Amino acid sequence: MKSTLVIFCLQNQLAAWRLGRSHAPQRVLIDSQELLPLPTPATAQALAQACADIAERLHGEGFAIDEVHWILDAPGNALWQTSLPLLQQIFTQHNVWQNLSWPWLAARFGLDATQPWATPAVWAKGLLPWLVTLDRNAEQQQMQQALARDHQTQSEQLLAERTRLQQENEQLRHQNAALHQVDAENLLRFLPALFARVFVVLGATDLALLSGRVEPLAIPNPYPEPSEETLRTLQKHFRALPLPLQQQIVRFVAHLPQRQKLQPRPEMRELVQALEEN
């Protein structure tokens, strides 16, 4: 269980409280005392020893010191500065330290800065809960900053994904245009093997426009019927095409108004009918 430690070093005396979100501030004894006088003159070793007692006591109670707030008057701040090397050996795992001025806090909460130990009960009701709220606000700010960074990262990822999809779409558009070119070549090659006198019914301009081309196909007019040997070879090649490509060619013709005028060649009639129906 984590907690926040608040150490007061005022008028050469020490006191400590442990803060938690789920309970009221709790006094922490220092060397079995609520208020520990430091020797005169105060030394870094004396402050370090007192802090070591605090850390050991909290550790024995099962609490990990997550944050340390130091409330210091001017002499206490000077002592704290000279004690830093020793204090950092005691609170080695804690990267959140905050040094607060007692005169500033006293003015903020309407307290007598010259009599810090006269109103410790007021600390438990006002000053110490304010420190808890201060910690929570800092955490919320850190969370908001983390969420903002995550949002920025997600926005950049979405933008990159959008750019990638646009590039893929452009590639697909070029590929689709290339497929139209291939389809036109297949039509020009295989339609005579499927239908008799096909290019008499389908002119070069109409066939080009229907297959997605702008320029007319190079089809001689009149188009000579292939020889028997050529027909058999083309029909053999057509049967060897992948089924999706066979369907593409036959269904292209099946949806044309000119389809009723086209007669499948007898040897290909059953195949054309099957491809049109499936």
Spell out the domain ranges in the chain: 2-117, 178-277
CA dist., res. 156 & res. 77, Å (int) = 47
Superfamily, domain 2-117: ATPase, nucleotide binding domain (3.30.420.40)
For residue 53, the model assigns a pLDDT of: 93
pLDDT of residue 197: 87
**What pLDDT shows up at residue 220?**
66
68, 2 contact by CB (below 8 A):
no
pLDDT for 142: 44
Q: What is the pLDDT of residue 138?
A: 44
Distances 43 to 68, 111, 248 between C-alpha atoms, Å: 20, 28, 94
pLDDT of the residue at 8: 93
∠84-86-90 over CA atoms, to 5°? 105
Distance CA 267, CA 271 (A): 8
How far, in Å, CA of 60 to CA of 68, rounded? 18
- Residue numbers in the chain where pLDDT is lower than 50: 1, 135-143, 146-147, 174-182
What local confidence, expressed as pLDDT, does residue 49 receive? 94
Which of 30, 11, 32, 28 lies closest to 19 in space, CA to CA?
28
Give the Cα separation of 116 and 135 in Å (integer).
23
The label of the residue with tokens 């036959």 reads: 250
pLDDT at 188: 81
Note the pLDDT of residue 179.
42
